[in-house]
Homo-oligomer: A and B are copies of this chain.
Amino acid sequence: MEWSIQQIARLAGTTSRTLRHYGDVGLVVPSRVGENGYRYYDSAALVRLQRVLLLRELGLGIPAIADILTGQRDDTVALRAHLEWLTNEKQRLDRQLASVARTISDLERGEKPMADKMFDGFDHTIYKSEVEERWGSDSYATSDKCYTSMSQSEKDDFLLTAAELASDWAAAAERGVAVDRAEAQALAQRQCDWLVGIPGAPKSADGRPTRQYFTWLADSYVDDERFAVNYGGVIGATFVRDTMRVFADAHL
């Protein structure tokens, strides 16, 4: 028994285009090709096609299926690997689902979820629980209240100052020891000045950030990779931290 390409497509519940594609990649080849170029498939081809379609429905890719059909890979092994990949995909989707749901609720309550991302990596005051735990429960609230009362351009400026500072830090860190001490200390001074403008940052009587807070921030830049990445990675952040420590010893 022999079928034309359309007939076997209908039998197997797929399309002729798919059959041609499988022929092109060598997954399911016609059992016979007429001298007019027509493709014909026999029962063995139909059985093979059914297996391919089953595995495709399970989500396996064409190369993986080819490995199974040629006997290069055991089917249970391949399916187990595929199961793991499916599990990872599911987890990724779950995380996205949660993020989207949270973003929606944030938007509906009038909050600005964009702000998080924008400050991410520049300002510790966004990490509510951590900051409150270490520096008092109204530290975050103060910072947040101040930020939400800013105009858009003020927010931009605020963010930009932080971004610019981080950029300069990263550039300096890249040159590493080649940067002279005065330049490095000037950056630390800018960092200090920037903290003065942050309402949530703990400050001593003279208005400057406390030494404890300043050194904690410096350590965080290395320990927390959410920040390190913006300051030239762990290596760059280490340079930033050391420079800030020297500054703290001298001026705070």
Q: For the complex, give the distance between the alpha carbons of A142 and B51 in Å.
A: 25
Please tell me how many copies of the chain the complex holds: 2
How distant is A155 from chain B, measured CB to nearest CB, in Å? 9
Residue A163 interfacial (CB < 8 Å): yes
Interface size on A, residues (CB 8 A): 54
**Contact indicator B11/A50 (Cβ below 8 Å):** no
Contacting residue for A114 out of B51, B76, B90, B104, CB 8 A: B51
How distant is A212 from chain B, measured CB to nearest CB, in Å? 29
**Contact indicator A47/B159 (Cβ below 8 Å):** yes
- The dominant DSSP class at the A interface is helix
Binds B, one of A80-88, A193-201, A238-246: A80-88
**Contact indicator A43/B80 (Cβ below 8 Å):** no
For window 113-156 of A, CB contacts with B under 8 Å fall at: 113-114, 117-118, 121, 156
**Contact indicator A89/B80 (Cβ below 8 Å):** no
Knowing A50-B118, A86-B93, A118-B50, say if A76 contacts B107 (CB, 8 Å): yes
How distant is A169 from chain B, measured CB to nearest CB, in Å? 11
**Contact indicator B114/A50 (Cβ below 8 Å):** yes
How distant is A120 from chain B, measured CB to nearest CB, in Å? 9
- Which residues of B lie under 8 Å from residue A108 when comparing CB positions? 76
- Which residues of B lie under 8 Å from residue A79 when comparing CB positions? 100, 103-104, 107
Q: A59-B100, A86-B100, A87-B97 are in contact. List 4 more A-B contacts (CB 8 A).
A: A43-B157, A54-B113, A80-B104, A90-B97
